[in-house]
Amino acid sequence: MQSSQIPEEFKDIRPYADDEVRGAIHSLLHDRHFGRLLKGFVPFLPLSWSRGLLRLASIGVNTTLDFQMRFMKPVVRYILHRYSTGHTFAYEGIKPSEERYTFVSNHRDIVLDSAILDLMLHDAKFPTTVEIAIGDNLLIYPWIRTLVRLNKAFVVQRSLSMREKLRASQTMSRYMHFAVNEKQENIWIAQREGRAKDSDDRTQEAVLKMMTLGGEGSVVERLRHMHIVPLSLSYEFDPCDYLKAIEFQMKRDVKGFKKSKQDDLDNMKTGIFGRKGHVHFAAAPCLDEWLGTLDATLDKTEVFSLVAKHIDREIHRSYRLYPCNFIAADLLQGNRTHAEHYDEADERTFNDYLAQRLAMAAKDLTDRGLEPDAAFLRERLLTMYANPLFNYEKAKQD
């Protein structure tokens, strides 16, 4: 779609339009900070050569989808090949050739959740990938903003006053409805602001309320127009688990602690290049039919509560569980309730992994001038791996 076909009100938050892609690539190639990053990947080449190679590689890239297929797809495929033991995608509940969807998912990795979904959708023969909701707190440098807009990202503005935030939410909601129903794009959005650091994945009703600030009709009709698909993400190992444990202790021990820009960059880098084990994504059926069964007399508050609980249940029951989840639950509870799901080799592997992560967390905290609380850090790490199992078991019972 050309920029002239997109309402002007979306200019500051939307991905690049087709006629803007070439200019954005040119801007990226001439950005000094991006040049430094590029030099780090190919230190043996002069920077001018690296830029020249990228310029050649970008010939024929005229849309954001072209950019994803030419640059992002091979990068994500390499990352999965190098840093995971395999990946799978279950999508029996949706059909590639029918609607465009809004994937509402739990959130594990800042960069890779949506990037892996793009690859899986392409491999499954879906006609397009997803536009991605990304917080402006992560757009630390101009080149990052350029890169994510080339990668079909639209911006969630967070550092605003209450009045500004409402206005920005209304604009974003209108854009999401426009993207799904006019641009014919899929959307990915996390079920909550930020990642659930303890892996206790819950949908914030505020996310659903935001979706209904745009569109037409009743609250239920506006949600149906978004064609919501609950998406469950399961990483066998979370590369950022020890960083999340550190953050828990920092928040407990340091008054007013807030992550720095460097912390966000460290999380991005660690998430991309860290050990993941097996990765599984599962798409539940689209909510359209289920939404049609809701009582028309329900008020908005009841609708949001029911929809949030339904999304949570679908995400929880679709988890792929690994030996580490069962072991963590038993270690946390001091029993062997789930012992049938792992063996001695699995226990050794996970205990070695746990010791390694605790050592990494302790070193980082010591470097920051804090005394590591080993028992607290261990409990936090075990909880991260046990919560998906606990939520899965409850969803199955329900």
- pLDDT 10s digits, 69-93: 999 999 999 999 999 999 999 999 8
At 29, the pLDDT band (50, 70, 90 cuts) reads: confident
At 141, the pLDDT band (50, 70, 90 cuts) reads: confident
- pLDDT 10s digits, 303-322: 999 999 999 999 999 999 99
What confidence score (pLDDT) does residue 384 get?
A: 98
What confidence score (pLDDT) does residue 242 get?
A: 98
Parts of the chain belonging to CATH 3.40.1130.10: 64-238+274-317
**From the centroid of its chain, how far is CA 97?**
24
Q: Which residues pair with 134 in a beta bridge?
A: 155
Examine the pLDDT at 341 and tell me if it is beyond 70.
yes
Examine the pLDDT at 47 and tell me if it is beyond 80.
no
Where is average pLDDT lowest: 52-61, 185-194, 308-317, 318-327?
52-61
> How many C-alpha atoms does 158 have within 13 Å on its Cβ side?
13
- Calculate mean pLDDT across residues 360-388: 97
At 41, the pLDDT band (50, 70, 90 cuts) reads: low
The H or E element spanning position 385 is helix 374-397
At 51, the pLDDT band (50, 70, 90 cuts) reads: confident
Amino acid at 358: L
Contact predicate 289/310, CB 8 Å: no
At 162, the pLDDT band (50, 70, 90 cuts) reads: confident
84-107 b/e with 16+ CB inside 10 Å = b? beebebebeebeeeebbbbbbbbb
* Per-chain mean pLDDT for the chain: 93
Tokens representing 199 are: 């892996």
Q: What phi and psi, each to the nearest 5 degrees, are found at residue 178?
A: -65, -45
Task: Please enumerate in sequence order all residues whose Cβ is within 8 A of that of 271, keeping only pairs 6 or more positions apart, or say none.
Answer: 109, 110, 111, 112, 239, 240
- pLDDT 10s digits, 228-257: 999 999 999 999 999 999 999 999 999 999
- Calculate mean pLDDT across residues 162-173: 92
Is the Cα dihedral 149, 65, 132, 233 positive or negative?
A: negative
Tokens representing 9 are: 């009100």
At 157, the pLDDT band (50, 70, 90 cuts) reads: confident
Examine the pLDDT at 39 and tell me if it is beyond 70.
no
Question: In whole angstroms, what is the distance from residue 286 CA to residue 220 CA?
Answer: 14
> How many C-alpha atoms does 182 have within 13 Å on its Cβ side?
12
- Calculate mean pLDDT across residues 252-278: 92
Examine the pLDDT at 18 and tell me if it is beyond 80.
yes
What confidence score (pLDDT) does residue 118 get?
A: 97
The H or E element spanning position 181 is helix 162-181
At 40, the pLDDT band (50, 70, 90 cuts) reads: low
CATH architecture of the domain 64-238+274-317 equals 3-Layer(aba) Sandwich (3.40)
- pLDDT 10s digits, 273-302: 999 999 999 999 999 999 999 998 999 999
Examine the pLDDT at 48 and tell me if it is beyond 90.
no
- pLDDT 10s digits, 116-136: 999 999 999 999 999 999 888
- The model carries a pTM of 0.93
Greatest mean pLDDT among 37-51, 161-175, 333-347: 333-347
In 224-306, DSSP assigns E strands to: 228-235, 278-283
What confidence score (pLDDT) does residue 44 get?
A: 65
3-state SS assignment for residue 90: strand
Where is average pLDDT lowest: 56-65, 176-185, 200-209, 359-368?
56-65
Examine the pLDDT at 46 and tell me if it is beyond 80.
no
